[in-house]
Structure 1
Amino acid sequence: MIDYSPLLDTLKNSPLASWHAPLAKGLQARLAELQHGDLERWQHSLRNLPPLDGVRHDFSHSVALDAPPLDAQTQQQLYDALQGLHPWRKGPFDLFGVHIDTEWRSDWKWERVAPHIDLRGRRVLDIGCGNGYYMWRMWHAGAAMVIGVDPNLLFLNQFEAVKHYLPKAPVWQLPFTLEDLPEPTNAFDTVFSMGVLYHRRSPIDHLLQLKACLRPGGELVLETLVIEGDENHCLLPEDRYAQMRNVWFLPSAPMLERMLRRAGFKDVRCVDLNQTSVEEQRSTDWMRFNSLPSFLDPNDSNKTIEGHPAPLRATLIGQRPT
């Protein structure tokens, strides 16, 4: 069972104090109802992580943990435990000599985003945080507190595999959706929503929810799929997009800027526009299912298998007015 008491104690004396009671109640209910056919396997993997002394971390270029050299038996135990949490989608991770070559080269995205933000001393909320890869990078960038939310239980267990070796880090993952959180408190300095907006049926409502989580003057970092075009162009897929069923709305970057302004953000700017390559997203030994190469037109990599424009991702930054 995950011990959230350090987080709850931290909230008591912070601008998030009003979260303490409802979050404690919500976590108790959520943890009591956790169900998944593979949950026992994932929990078994966590229990099999070997205890290690002298743990060091270096998150400057990836998420890397190190310790004095492991003997062969301990190394194999660690490898088997981490493989038991397959598939690993966001990363890479380098954990005590085990290189987890994840589906996504998330370090590439972080390198594109990081130069445009300053997280020093900030309270950060990461919506749809996945397995927490970016949260560890945010902490390294100087964030005082990082809270991530994602209802996916595999991702939660992958996060806990790293947290197991850094129990005092002010980084926490909640098995919630954004809607499951207590009422917004206008208390976060920075809110991230990366790879979420195109899954939402009501994108403007999502932007308003994100704004409500920010303090006045706080900053939103929004990364999502877009298409090329002016502020009047968008794509609403009839069925699937790159084999994903739950893709609802892909605006152009200029339209997305307008949406953010309409939602009440100011100083809106697009800081990165990047077409996802098959080097950045692909199958590996740590994610053995189909990936981007299978989702593109085999005769034209600029199109998805359905004939839509290939994945183009934009990162926009905006500020909640003071």
Structure 2
Amino acid sequence: MIDYTPLYTGLQHIPELRGWLATLPQQIADGLSPARWGDLPEWEAALAALPDITPSSIETGTGVRIGCAEDITDAQSALLENQLRKLHPWRKGPWTVFDTFIDTEWRSDWKWDRVAPHLDDLNNRLVLDVGCGSGYHCWRQYGAGARRVIGIDPSAKFVAQFYALKKYLGLNRPVDVLPLGIEALPESLRAFDTTLSMGVLYHRRSPLDHLRELRETLRPGGQLLLETLVIHGGPGECLVPEGRYAKMRNVWFFPSTATLEGWLRKTGFTDVKTVDIDRTTVEEQRSTDWMTFESLADFLDPDNPHKTIEGHPAPLRATLTATAP
């Protein structure tokens, strides 16, 4: 149902990635194993039931918009929305798919507007997006001129969401999301012109190992864009929550930006810069009709929005750039 043949063909023409083909098909098969994901047959059935529609237009530069209402019949529209809702929850977007607006939990377009000005020109670049979710930012990177974008995320549901939309965005376009974590990439790959890691670092038990892994994805002189939760503070300061943070369990390190800059230099990066600091708001992350579970408003202290419900500082996100040696 999810066909990576165009990706495999494309990688044959990229010398830096051609060797990955020896292991990649089996890695993808393992990442999409029904034994690991019990709901995978249901998600694949939703993909199979999507109506065949040719969009009159596709936009990935100023947002992600597929076709228009005139491209689709009422029956197709009802079927399309019904199948897309079977892939709930939709976390990252938003997406406009013919006459269906997928109002995702995150306004990922707002994040893109913050980080995009700090990226080197993406024209003709090979881009890796680590922890990409359903691939919203992958399409924006492609819209900014990247020649090929590879997103990786171990969640099979995010992969299913990505391919539900790629059916209409173009199955042969050089944008893919793989059901993999960064540890699945070949060691010392040194292939990508640009690597992004957004919203990943605080989920890693060893943040310096993650930074080293990111460095090894980049060619010498390639650019890293890192976005993560931070705290206010000076060099050496870091929050390590003993329990949950904003009801999240799998969280580990929240450094100050000065500490994070030091970590990047310690792992070999140069030209390290903090380029943006932004507090996450309940307008940017919230429950919607397409993500009906709890969201940021439920994770904050109801009497003090500057604290999480556990008493930690509320989410503060920093974006840093750095150059690989």
| TM-score normalised by L of structure 2 | 0.96
**Aligned residue number for residue 254 of structure 2:** 250
Separation in 2, partners of 1:143, 1:225: 27
8 Å contact from structure 1 (residues 65, 96) kept in 2: yes
- Separation in 1 of the partners of 2:26 and 2:54? 34
Q: Deviations over 1:17-56 (max 9, x none)?
A: 1112121332344445553232222112111211012442
1:89-137 CA deviation, whole Å, 9 max, x = no partner? 0010000010111000010000000111121110001111100011000
Distance 1:213 1:9 in 2: 21
Q: Which amino acid aligns with 2:318?
A: A
Query: Quick one: which amino acid aligns to residue 51 of structure 1?
Result: D
What is residue 56 of structure 1 aligned with on the other side?
57
The residue type paired with residue 161 of structure 1 is: A
CA contact (8 A) 1:152 1:175 kept: yes
Structure 2 residue 243 is matched with structure 1 residue 239: yes
Match of 2:307 among 298, 303, 307: 303
Sequence identity (%): 54
Task: Map 1:280-291; keep pairs closer than 5 Å.
Answer: 280-291=284-295
Structure 1 segment 249-288 matched on structure 2, within 5 A: 249-288=253-292
* 1:108 and 2:114 aligned: no
Is structure 2 residue 310 aligned with structure 1 residue 312? no
Amino acid at match of 1:82: L
Q: How many residues align?
A: 321
State which of 132, 137, 141 in structure 1 corresponds to 2:135.
132
Query: CA, structure 1 residues 168+55, in 2 after alignment: closer, same or farther (shift >3 Å)?
Result: farther
Classify 1:302/1:73 alpha carbon distance in 2 versus 1 (closer, same or farther; 3 Å).
same
Range with bigger deviation, 282-291 or 182-191? 182-191
Match of 1:201 in 2: 205
Instruction: Compute the displacement of 1:70 (Å).
Output: 1.6
Deviation at 1:236, TM superposition (A): 0.3
1:121/1:150 CA distance change after superposition, 3 Å: same
Residue equivalent to 1:2: 2
Equivalent residues in 2 for 1:201-240 (5 A)?
A: 201-240=205-244
Matching residue of 1:69: 71
* 1:259-315 Cα deviation digits (max 9, x unpaired): 101111000101110000000000000000000000000000000000000000000
CA distance in 1, matches of 2:264, 2:318: 13
Q: How many Å separate the matches in 1 of 2:236 and 2:32?
A: 44
Q: SS state of the match for residue 239, structure 1?
A: coil
1:88 alignment partner in structure 2:
90
Segment drifting more, 59-68 vs 126-135: 59-68
Kept in 2, the 8 Å contact 1:208–1:263? The answer is yes
Residues 278, 293 of structure 1: 8 Å contact kept: yes
CA distance in 2, matches of 1:123, 1:284: 34
Unmatched 5+ stretches in structure 2 = none
- State the match for 1:98 in structure 2: 100
Give the match for residue 162 of structure 1: 165
CA distance in 1, matches of 2:39, 2:140: 28
Residues 43 and 24 (structure 1 numbering): CA distance in 2 closer, same or farther, change over 3 Å?
A: closer
Normalised by the length of structure 1, the TM-score is 0.97
SS in 2 for 1:261: helix
**2:184 aligned residue (180, 185, 188):** 180
Q: Is 1:171 aligned with 2:172? A: no
Q: Which residue of 2 aligns with 1:43?
A: 44
Deviation at 1:76, TM superposition (A): 0.6
3-state SS of paired residue (1:119): coil
* Larger mean Cα displacement after TM superposition, 46-55 or 229-238: 46-55
Considering only aligned residues, what root-mean-square deviation do their CA atoms show, in Å?
1.3
**Is the 8 Å Cα contact of residues 120 and 141 (structure 1) preserved in structure 2?**
yes
